[in-house]
C-alpha cells in the first residue's frame, strides 16, 4: 500500500462490519498454495503494526520464516522435541519437524517490551502486541489470504526461542501462519458475551 488513506473517524463502513461479523480463522494444517509474496508479507506486517501503542514504543518485532528456512528450523524443532521426549516414537519428532511447513509463510510476532521511564506498564505493551497479531489476521484476510494465530509448545520452549534470537524479556506472542485456503468456514460456538457485559447507566 503506497499511500495510507485517511478517514474521518465517523465514516461508517458496513463492509468492515460484515467482515468482522463473519471473521474466522482457517486451519493452518489445511492451508495450501504459495500464499502472500515476500512483498505482500511486508505489506501485511506494516498494516498489522498500525495498532494502538501507548507512547509509540513499538514493543514488538517480527521474524519472517519462509522457504527452506521453515524446514531448517523444523529440523531443529524435531531434534529439540526428541531431546525433551526421548521415549516417544521417532514419528512424533518427524511430525514436529513439519510444523512450520503447514503454511508457506510463518511470521513469529515477538513481544519486545521496553523499559519505559515515562511509565507505560509492561501489561499495556503486551496488550499492544496482541493487537498486532489480531490485526495481522485481519490484514491478511482482507488481502485474500488465510491466516491463523498459533502458539503451540514451540512458542514457550526457551531453547527454540533462543534459536529464533529472542532475548531478555522477549516472548513469542504468536506464530501467524499465512497461506491460501479454500476451506469453507462456518461459525463456531462463541463464549456467552452477554454474560460478560456489565452495563452501568443507560
Ligand atoms: C495467543 C493465542 C494462541 C493460540 N494458540 C493456538 C494453538 O496453539 N493451537 C490452536 O489450535 N489454536 C490456537 N489459538 C486459537 C486460534 O488462533 C483460533 O482462535 C481458533 O483456531 C479459531 O478461532 P477463530 O476462527 O474465531 O479465529 C490461539 C489463539 C491465541 C489468541
In a 3-state reduction of DSSP, which class is residue 178?
Answer: strand
Task: Note down pLDDT in tens along the chain; length 202 residues.
Answer: 657 777 777 889 999 999 999 999 999 999 999 999 999 999 999 999 999 999 999 999 999 999 999 999 999 999 999 999 999 999 999 999 999 999 999 999 999 999 877 789 999 999 999 999 999 999 999 999 999 999 999 999 999 999 999 998 999 999 999 999 998 888 899 999 999 999 999 8
Describe the crossing of helices 68-84 and 90-97 by its angle, rounded to 10 degrees: 150
Nearest CA to ligand 1 atom 18: 25
Which domains occur in the chain, in start order?
26-182 (3.40.109.10)
pTM recorded for the entire structure: 0.95
In the chain, the largest separation of any two C-alpha atoms, in whole Å, equals 61
**CB distance 84 to 156 below 8 Å:** no
> Strand 146-150's sheet: what is its strand order?
60-66, 105-111, 171-179, 146-150
Which pLDDT does position 4 carry in this prediction?
74
Cell of 148: 491463523
Q: Is the CB of 81 under 6 A from ligand 1?
A: no
Q: Is the CB of 148 under 6 A from ligand 1?
A: yes
Amino acid at each position: 500500500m503506497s499511500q495510507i488513506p485517511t478517514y474521518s473517524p465517523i465514516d461508517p463502513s458496513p463492509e468492515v462490519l460484515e467482515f468482522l461479523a463473519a471473521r474466522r480463522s482457517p486451519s493452518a494444517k489445511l492451508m495450501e498454495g504459495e500464499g502472500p509474496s515476500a512483498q505482500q508479507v511486508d505489506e501485511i506486517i506494516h498494516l498489522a503494526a498500525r495498532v494502538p501503542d501507548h507512547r509509540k514504543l513499538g514493543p514488538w518485532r517480527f521474524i519472517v520464516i519462509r522457504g527452506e528456512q521453515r524446514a531448517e528450523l523444523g529440523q531443529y524443532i524435531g531434534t529439540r522435541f526428541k531431546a525433551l521426549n526421548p521415549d516417544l516414537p521417532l514419528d512424533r519428532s518427524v511430525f514436529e519437524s513439519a510444523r512450520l511447513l503447514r503454511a508457506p509463510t510463518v511470521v513469529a510476532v515477538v513481544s519486545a517490551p521496553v523499559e519505559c521511564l515515562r511509565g507505560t506498564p509492561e501489561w499495556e505493551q503486551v496488550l499492544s502486541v496482541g493487537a498486532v497479531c489480531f490485526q495481522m489476521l485481519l490484514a491478511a484476510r482482507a488481502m485474500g489470504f488465510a491466516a491463523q494465530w498459533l502458539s503451540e509448545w514451540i512458542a514457550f520452549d526457551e531453547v527454540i526461542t533462543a534459536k529464533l534470537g529472542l532475548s531478555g524479556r522477549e516472548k513469542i506472542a504468536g506464530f501467524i501462519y499465512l497461506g491460501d485456503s479454500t476451506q469453507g468456514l462456518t461459525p463456531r460456538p462463541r463464549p456467552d458475551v452477554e454474560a460478560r457485559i456489565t452495563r452501568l447507566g443507560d
